[in-house]
Every structure is written in structure tokens, then in C-alpha cells.
């Protein structure tokens, strides 16, 4: 499934906190229909059992699509549910420990905000890095956007793909892609169109258009 990293990609985050009464599996399937390349399920509201059950439900909804499912924070839930990978924040299990537990085929993403942190994550075995917030965002309250020169330095310091995250939508996703990001992660922006499917389809079209214009 790592072949997804060979091109510019759209990384959709299904955040339980943003869904209201919408079922996570329904949201994920709509994002898949719209053309998401990678889907992360983020759920900081549920206990471990509910998170596992939701992850399994999302995975079943994606069974007809060749889209890797990444679980945020929880390696145990990701492995138990049968997801393709996990994304680890700076306060989560270390990347090296996760790699030792999960093996080489498991996708491990990590958050980074400094050049040194990005290098450490790559050396520990991360497959990609989430770097941001690239723009101001309500999902990371109190965290200032990363300096764009620093963003460029991080990209230049490592070999694994960098995913820009934070405040990204259809009006600005071209900026991190043109700066060298391999992918863009989008969460709240998927709710700004008529449907999730329509929003993701438009985002995917713009990713492809930006890619064509920068090649």
C-alpha cells in the first residue's frame, strides 16, 4: 500500500469530533467515493472499545476500495482492527517502538515540527511525516502555524513524504503542494461542500491540477 506515496496524494481525516451524529463509516465511505487516497480515523472522544468498534466499522465500509486506513494515536487499536497503519503524535508511543511491534509492512506516520524531530522520526522508521499546522486551524487550538521556511527545511532534510496539515482546503491546498509537500491532509474542509463526496472530489481534482501544473 506504500505505492500511494509515489504521487501527490489527498489524505482525508475522519474526525469523530466533527461528525456530529454522522456515522464514521458512512463519512469514510463517502470520502472514498470522492477519491480520497488515504483515510485516517481520528477519535479522541471514545474509549478503547468504542474506538475499536468504530475502526472495524470504517474498515468494512472501505473494503471495496484500495484505500489504506490509518488510525490516529492508537497502535493497539490499529493492529487489532486490521488497519493498514497508525499515525503517532509527539506524546504517543515512540515510532521505533511501534515499528518493532508492528513490523515492516505496517504504515507508520508521525507528527513533526522541527528539522531534528523530522530526522529522528525518519530514522526511527516513519513512512511519512505530518507537518503543521500549515495554516491557522480550529482543530489545533493554541498552536501557531509553522514557519513556511521551516516547512521547506524539513522537506529538504528527509527522504520520506511530508504531508501538510492544518487549515487546508480547496482555496489554499496548492500552496503546500507547490512548496514540496507530497500530500495534504484535510479534516473540516470536507464538510464545506454539498456533500462529503462532492467536497472530496473537488479537493482531489485540485490536487491533481496542482500536480500537473508543477511537473
Q: Tell me the three cell numbers of residue 103.
A: 513490523
DSSP secondary structure, 95-112, as one string:
HHHHHHHH-TTSEEEEEE
Structural domains of the chain sorted by starting position, each given as residue range(s) with its CATH number in brackets: 7-214 (3.20.20.70)
Other CB atoms within 10 Å distance of the CB of residue 178:
12
Question: Tens digits of per-residue pLDDT, 187-202?
Answer: 999 998 889 999 999 9
pTM: 0.96
Question: Tens digits of per-residue pLDDT, 141-170?
Answer: 678 999 999 999 999 999 999 999 999 999
DSSP designation for 84: S
Q: Tell me the three cell numbers of residue 214.
A: 508543477
pLDDT of residue 137: 82
pLDDT of residue 215: 62
Q: Is 39 exposed, middle or buried (0-12, 13-18, 19+ CB in 10 A)?
A: buried
Rounded CA-CA distance 98/103 in Å is 8
Comparing 19-28, 48-57, 136-145, which segment has the lowest mean pLDDT?
Answer: 136-145
Compute, in degrees rounded to 10, the torsion defined by CA atoms 62, 66, 72, 73.
120
Question: Tens digits of per-residue pLDDT, 2-32?
Answer: 677 889 999 999 999 999 999 999 999 999 9
Average pLDDT over residues 81-88: 98
Amino acid at each position: 500500500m506504500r505505492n500511494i506515496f509515489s504521487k501527490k496524494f489527498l489524505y482525508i481525516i475522519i474526525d469523530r469530533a466533527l461528525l456530529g451524529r454522522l456515522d464514521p463509516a458512512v463519512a469514510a465511505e463517502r470520502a472514498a467515493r470522492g477519491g480520497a487516497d488515504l483515510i485516517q480515523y481520528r477519535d479522541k472522544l471514545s474509549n478503547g472499545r468504542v474506538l475499536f468498534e468504530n475502526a472495524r466499522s470504517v474498515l468494512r465500509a472501505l473494503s471495496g476500495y484500495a484505500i489504506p486506513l490509518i488510525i490516529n494515536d492508537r497502535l493497539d487499536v490499529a493492529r487489532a482492527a486490521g488497519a493498514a497503519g497508525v499515525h503517532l503524535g509527539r506524546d504517543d508511543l515512540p515510532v521505533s517502538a511501534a515499528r518493532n511491534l508492528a513490523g515492516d509492512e505496517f504504515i507508520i506516520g508521525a507528527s513533526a515540527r522541527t528539522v531534528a524531530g523530522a530526522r529522528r522520526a525518519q530514522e526511527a522508521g516513519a513512512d511519512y511525516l505530518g507537518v503543521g499546522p500549515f495554516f491557522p486551524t480550529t482543530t489545533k487550538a493554541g498552536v501557531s502555524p509553522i514557519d513556511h521556511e521551516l516547512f521547506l527545511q524539513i522537506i529538504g532534510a528527509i527522504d520520506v513524504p511530508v504531508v501538510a496539515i492544518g487549515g487546508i482546503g480547496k482555496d489554499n491546498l496548492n500552496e503546500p503542494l507547490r512548496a514540496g509537500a507530497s500530500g495534504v491532509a484535510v479534516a473540516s474542509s470536507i464538510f464545506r461542500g454539498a456533500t462529503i463526496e462532492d467536497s472530496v472530489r473537488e479537493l482531489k481534482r485540485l490536487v491533481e491540477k496542482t500536480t500537473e501544473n508543477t511537473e
